[in-house]
Amino acid sequence: MENYLEQLNEAQKEAVLNTDGPSLVIAGAGSGKTRVLTYRIAHLLRQGVAPWSILALTFTNKAAREMKERIGQIVGQEVASKLWMGTFHSVFAKILRVEAEHAGFPSSFTIYDTTDSKSLVNSILKNMKLNKEKAYKTGTVLGRISAAKNDLIIPPVYARDAQRTTADAASRIPRMPEIYQKYMSECKKAGAMDFDDLLLNTNLLFRDHPDVLAKYQERFKYILVDEYQDTNFSQYLITRKLAEKYKNICVVGDDAQSIYSFRGAKIENILNFRNDYQGYKLFKLEQNYRSTRTIVNAANSIIARNDKQIQKTVFSQKDEGQKINMIQAHSDVDEGFIVINDINETRLRHQCQYKDFAILYRTNAQSRIFEEALRKKNIPYKIYGGLSFYQRKEIKDLLAYLRVTINPKDSEALKRIINYPARGIGKTTMEKLEAIASQHDVSLWEVITNPGLPNAGFNSGILKKLSSFSTLIGGFISQVPNMSAFDITNEIATQSGILKELHTDKSHESQTRLENLEELFNAIREFSDERQEGGEDNGLVDFLEEVSLLTDQDNDSSDDINKVTLMTIHAAKGLEFKNVYIVGVEEGLFPSGMASTTEPGLEEERRLFYVALTRAEERATLTCSRSRYKFGELTFARPSRFLGEIDQQYLNIPEESQSFAKPKPGMPGMGKTTRRKFNLEDETPEKKKVNFSGKVLQNNRPEPKFNSRDLAAPNQIQPGVMVEHERFGHGKVLHLEGNAPNIKATVFFKNAGQKQLLLKFAKLKIIS
């Protein structure tokens, strides 16, 4: 490929050709940063630089493979194969194996994955007799250890770190320093490192062995780092040490797309590059080749509100494109129907394929509504970077409890829950129980509830635990006939200890699992209400049957890539789609209620919104809901402040979605830039509503919940009448059937389609 430089614009070419000294390449969304990195390396090789003297660090193996392949097309695969190119972990694992003697590990050291690390932590907690203390959760402990390693805090330093030990004491895990020390000792004894150790031990190697550091400083005359805004302190320090001699370091990234602080990434690494490397060169890649001018300009108007950023003006020379659609749905269920209906219409109107569509959400739990709507429309889809909602561990755990409650002979479900949450029924006990069940050809439940079990050789402690478990399940079984599916599920989640365990563990993982369980409650509530209104059975058996049918994947094919993509925004970074739906854009959800309490947190949420919007090539749609279920209770939502921060000229707002809640004074992020959008001095104690032009609407009180005086009596509902439903929104009554008190109405709802409702339960309002 002789003419590779001709494929670059002027800004890209400048970044490729200027190879000496420190360089910071700020690459806006869709600006071709991968091409610049690739061609910069190829250009170095063309200039006679030895491939083994170039170190290129990426964040994914896929990125490294693709770059090396493209470089090989220019300079030849044999030359490209000699590059030191890969992820931070893979490159430094290679160095640690070469320098194993200095690092104090065998060259054949094992690399522990997360499962191995969790198992080791569990063993340590058990040996320290901490496994029964509820505060010492495996995920919490491992999270603390990982955070310490990424900050280069080793056990002796951890024990002297007042801030960390104070936080541990407040979380009722004061023995963390001892656990951390034991964890490191056991890894060393086993000749093993976890992922974080690969970076920590590389730093220790370079600190304790200056001769080793000097060797690699001499070898790597040119260093390139991709996605520099995502580096943590440990990664930052390694690259800085290696670049000290020749200072030919080039980092590429975009501060506006720094969204991984929860993994330890520090935006300061890219913002402070100019302080670390005096005389650095700055290159800005500002032309977006991905999106329409409207999408790029709208994204710019959002990110301009962040204070912490390197100024740049991203632009597009593509078509202006259509305005960004803004839709406010009546409910979260309504939101799902609207998005899926719009996908169908857009696909037909613009001759798109399903793979041209992506639904992006802030939390994994939000996928459930859209999965069910897609299934009902028989639209193929895939969950990217995560499991289907009903396949997630916490969902399967609670569903297993429900299955055992309905059918205690379901041994597979029983094995899943008998020791979750932990109740001291271990592997040895389970092996004995399964042997007895097999010997007598009965279910595990029949063994556990058999009065003759004491004769099977179990000690009194185990018998007591088994009896307690069978009593717990027996209590659930007895309550099924008298409770709704929602109420019995709530009872099981509470009495089993599942909710308490997740509430106690403050880790990011547990918070996500709790959000997913919240969505399961919502699914059961919606199922119960809809079935009741339709005069159909809505018990627990019926719900489990529906879930079983929904999760039937007989028609799924991993080879079929023509599917709508569902993913979190974090997972979407680096991807692009013709049509993007950013859903649930509401206060407390996006921005996240936890993240938006501080200015840095809010700025990262705004960067996340910027990332989401810039995934779209041709069309973007933003949706929010007026109401949303939370743990089975209907709550009213306020549109996200981000919707009011977008320059209004780039938005298309349907008449029925014009009103949006006005941000309150003092809300984080309401700085000087936001004040230009809203006149805060006119704010009164009464909550107002504003449209995107800033005009105060007459109806400025919060939307009330449906109450009895709003609802129509069954005898008021007649064919042709326009009605409003709490979840399905506006619809028209088509016809009635049956006699009082069991009259059924067939109603066609604008977004939810045709429904048959039992009027005595339907909660309909007549609208003009």
> What's the half-sphere exposure (Cβ side, CA atoms, 13 Å) at 516?
24
484 marked as part of a ligand binding site: no
Q: Is position 194 annotated as part of the catalytic site? A: no
- Give the Cα separation of 285 and 287 in Å (integer): 6
- Give the Cα separation of 513 and 495 in Å (integer): 18
Q: Is position 34 annotated as part of the catalytic site? A: yes
The dihedral region occupied by 307, where left means phi > 0, alpha psi between -120 and 50, and beta the remainder, is alpha
| Class of residue 666 by CB neighbours under 10 A (exposed 0-12, middle 13-18, buried 19+) | exposed
253 marked as part of a ligand binding site: no
The dihedral region occupied by 227, where left means phi > 0, alpha psi between -120 and 50, and beta the remainder, is left
Find the DSSP H helices in 681-726.
none
Q: Is position 615 annotated as part of the catalytic site? A: yes
34 marked as part of a ligand binding site: yes
One of 196, 197, 227, 334 is an active-site residue; which one? 227
One of 70, 312, 318, 615 is an active-site residue; which one? 615
279 marked as part of a ligand binding site: no
Q: Is position 366 annotated as part of the catalytic site? A: no
In 3D, which of 216, 278, 271, 262 has the Cα closest to residue 242? 216
Q: Is position 163 annotated as part of the catalytic site? A: no
Q: Please, are residues 320 and 294 in contact by the beta-carbon 8 Å criterion?
A: yes
Residue 755 host element (H or E): strand 753-758
Q: For residues 652-662, b (16+ Cβ closer than 10 Å) or e, as one string?
A: ebeeebbbbbb
DSSP codes, 300-340: HHHHTT-SSS-----EE-S---PPEEEEEESSHHHHHHHHH
**In this structure, what is the dihedral angle of CA atoms 503, 505, 509, 511, given to the nearest 10 degrees?**
30
Residue with tokens 């050291």: 109
DSSP state of 598: S
DSSP state of 181: H
Q: Is position 716 annotated as part of the catalytic site? A: no
Backbone angles phi, psi at 14, to 5 degrees: -60, -40
27 marked as part of a ligand binding site: yes
30 marked as part of a ligand binding site: yes
Q: Please, are residues 757 and 533 in contact by the beta-carbon 8 Å criterion?
A: yes
The residues near 460 (Cβ < 8 Å, ≥ 6 apart) are none
One of 229, 231, 257, 294 is an active-site residue; which one? 257
Residue 422 identity (one-letter amino acid): A
Backbone angles phi, psi at 17, to 5 degrees: -80, -30
666 marked as part of a ligand binding site: no
Residue 8 identity (one-letter amino acid): L
One of 13, 14, 19, 34 is an active-site residue; which one? 34
One of 33, 144, 392, 531 is an active-site residue; which one? 33
- Give the Cα separation of 367 and 334 in Å (integer): 14
One of 168, 194, 196, 226 is an active-site residue; which one? 226
In 3D, which of 592, 565, 144 has the Cα closest to residue 371? 565
147 marked as part of a ligand binding site: no
| β-bridge pairing 23-27 and 249-253 | parallel
Residues taking part in catalysis: 33-34, 226-227, 257, 615
- For the annotated binding site for ATP, the residues are 27-34
- For the annotated binding site, the residues are 27-34
